[in-house]
Copies of this chain bind each other. A is one copy, B any other.
Amino acid sequence: MELKNNLTTETGWEIIQDAFDPEDLVTTGSNFMIGNGYLGYRGTFDNWGPEEFVACVVTDTWDQAKDSRWSELCNVPNGLFSEIKADGETCSLFSGSLKNYSHRLDLRYGLNSRKIQWVGSNGQGVELESRKFASYDTHNLLVQEFKFSAVKSGIYTLKTGINGEVWSLNGSHFKSGKTLRLTEDLIGSHLQTYELGTEVAIVEGVNLKGNPPEEMHISKSGDSIFREYTFHLKPGETVALEKVIAIAHSNELEDPLGAAQKMVHDALGKGYAELFTSHKKPWDAFWKISDIQISGNPEAQLLTRFNLYQAFIATPTHANLPVGARGLSCQVYQGAAFWDQETYNLPMFAFTHPEIAERLVAYRYDTLQGARRKAQGLGYYGAFYAWTSGKTGDELFPDFFFTDVLTGRPIRNHFNCWQIHISPDVVYGIWLYYQATGDWDFIVKQGAEVLFEVAHFLVSRVHLKKDKGRYEIIRVLGPDEYHENVDNNAFTNYLARYALQKACIVYDRLAIEQNETLKALVGKIELPQMARGDWQEISENLFLPQPDPETGIIEQFDGYFKLEDIRPDALRKRLIDPGEYWGWPNGIAIHTQVLKQADVIQLLAMLDGFSQEILTANYEYYEPRTEHGSSLSPSVHALVASKAGHPEEAYRYFLESAGIDLYNESKKVMSGGSFLGGIHTAAAGGVWLILVKGFAGMVLTDDGVSFRPALPETWDAYTFKIRIKGCLLEVGLNQKEISILNVASNSGSLRVAAKGKEAQLHPGETFLA
């Protein structure tokens, strides 16, 4: 079927592009990317380079670029570079004529494939076909099948190997390295990063099939190394190769070059078909639980799968590492975790693949030391998590992020020091993981320490207003980043209380059940004796902005209602330059009620227990004032609109969120002078939230789960699976009813509720409402 943005799908499992549009370089490269949570490889053409945004982004390679204030993941040299010349003319998407262009991404297995027929200026040309995937079996590997056949008789050259010219957003990361012919068959590139001296190795090998070359030699140039083949081909004669590259680095492996060499050698021995078979298994396992099947609306089906796909390949499953805000689609946002990880990406895994979710929460435990250093550096105790968190958890967000496009002056954004909700958000994620899995063991071994340290941090961050007899949180920045330097931000204060309460719960349960463990932990982190009491006292006396008794509206922060009440479209007219940042220090939104994203809506999406009236009142107040300058905003609006009784708006926001990348809905490639392209990973995770927490209205209860369905009008039905405390449930919804199957192989029963009905659901039983 036809999709927007000149895309089609056949089965709802692939996206297909039938024409090449140079305008869409950035978007297409992101949307057609492949990856495996270890690396991301953009959907670019074989002979492209930095100008076309070719990138192979590798996790766990954080390093500060030369002459830069940025620590970010490295783009590594492109080992999948290939260039064909037919009688001396380069086969290019930018010249000659293209026929039968087809570019596909198979979502089921993360397979990027391409066919073109290219004819050059002298009538000479090639038919080219390639397929590639980032192995889920051996995450260091990229595997490609590449073949071309001659249109006319002639001399064809193929230059293939490792292109060392790297697109790097904020300066070069590599000292000039070595390029090597490792063996008769293998070539490699061996580099070191500037700051930390991390070793990175790319090894490439090929199995050459089809017509043999007349000649082959190795060429080197700068940091690049290529094989150059010459073929004499007659019409229809074909050259085929299986290419394998391995990317390894010293943060993971001791001898990256040797390890990569071995991996490529072994992989070449297996060949493309066998490698692909092994690669398919983890994908099958993923989709078995995670697929959401929608009937009646193929577009919604495809969009949903596309987002699940992007959310999955962005997430490291091989180690405890963060999910980047742009996944591994580019270097934007430094390949590091933000609060999005807990609030947008974790939930899907917590309820479908808890073993992946565990890696994410364990990552926060692993980075506790960095969070402690950040707190200390700013004069606080405990754990203040990094706004931008890489390997160590030290703050990667620079003091100056945006540039004032009107003056060229750097802007001191305070995301790193004032957006303190990150620490409660981490607690939220851990608690969500615990609620979904019941994994108390994780809490005991890792979670408790995080919770205590966050609570400890909050004690040192709140202020007591003696005249009002309450604690306040002063000078923060909520998720709505247009309003810096505000007090008693509703989202921040509610989440802070949430975190303090969970710390108390865990403390008390440990005191009763595992007092020795508690003592050891208290000793280890040197928790003061009154800490537990402080947490409770603060959580009980922390000021929480209450719904107005008349209107039900919660004020986003102290004084918000006094700001100018204007709508985003009217406000936009005050822009002097369309690339201006709307927020601090003097952007157009700061003295108005216009929001980047609505903190109260975010709060209502995350914490349960607000009444329908409150949901509706706040949605109706904040939604028209929200500019959605954040890609996180539409999904949470879809979710809350659904709960607030606005199904049409919920669906509109669902489409906006789900299409943000595929349909290039967020045209904002630049903001405040910064390149912000790439996949919006949080929005991808947000699609799962909309479908499960929004349209199905899933809410965890003390002993199970309840649903409050609000199916989009145009859908006949949809089904998804969730796992709660080990029980796999199959949930089906149509316009009339909801069915919940407790899968027969489960061992436990669960309380389920929907539409006023309630039941204890045993394995093999189905609940209908």
Contact = CB atoms under 8 A, between A and B. Distances in A.
Contacts of A485: 475, 485
Contacts of A409: 586
Interface of A: 379, 381, 404, 406-409, 411-412, 459-460, 462-467, 472, 474-475, 485, 534, 558, 576, 584-586, 590-591
Top 10 nearest A-B pairs (CB, nearest first) are A585-B585, A463-B463, A464-B464, A460-B467, A406-B407, A585-B586, A459-B467, A464-B466, A474-B474, A409-B586
A149 to B, nearest CB: 59
A540 B485 CA distance: 29
Contacts of A558: 379
A755 B228 CA distance: 94
B463 A459 contact: no
Contacts of A463: 463-465, 472, 474
Contacts of A584: 585
Nearest to A475: B475
A590 B411 CA distance: 11
A440 to B, nearest CB: 30
A585 B584 CA distance: 8
A467 B463 CA distance: 9
Given A404-B586, A412-B590, A459-B467, 13 more contacts: A379-B558, A381-B467, A407-B407, A407-B586, A408-B576, A412-B591, A460-B465, A462-B466, A463-B463, A466-B534, A475-B485, A485-B485, A585-B585
A468 to B, nearest CB: 8
19 contacts: A381-B467, A406-B407, A407-B407, A411-B586, A412-B586, A412-B590, A412-B591, A459-B467, A460-B467, A463-B463, A464-B464, A464-B466, A466-B534, A474-B474, A475-B485, A584-B585, A585-B585, A585-B586, A586-B586
Nearest to A537: B466
Nearest to A584: B585
A299 B463 CA distance: 55
A144 B552 CA distance: 68
A196 B534 CA distance: 54
Contacts of A475: 474-475, 485
A538 B584 CA distance: 34
Contact of A576 (B407, B462, B591): B407
Nearest to A380: B467
Nearest to A399: B591
A552 B219 CA distance: 66
A463 B467 CA distance: 9
A33 to B, nearest CB: 37
Contacts of A462: 466
A584 to B, nearest CB: 7
A465 to B, nearest CB: 6
A518 B82 CA distance: 92
A465 B465 CA distance: 9
A670 to B, nearest CB: 19
Contacts of A406: 406-407
Contacts of A474: 463, 474-475
A621 to B, nearest CB: 22
A626 to B, nearest CB: 22
A501 to B, nearest CB: 18
Nearest to A574: B409
A475 to B, nearest CB: 6
Contacts of A381: 467
A275 to B, nearest CB: 53
Nearest to A528: B467
A743 to B, nearest CB: 49
Most buried by B among A412, A467, A558, A584: A467
Nearest to A485: B485
A494 to B, nearest CB: 20
A731 B412 CA distance: 53
A412 B559 CA distance: 15
A586 B412 CA distance: 8
Nearest to A412: B591
Nearest to A400: B591
Nearest to A381: B467
A411 B585 CA distance: 10
A423 to B, nearest CB: 15
Contacts of A464: 463-466
Most-contacted residue by chain B among A460, A465, A466, A591 (CB, 10 A) = A466
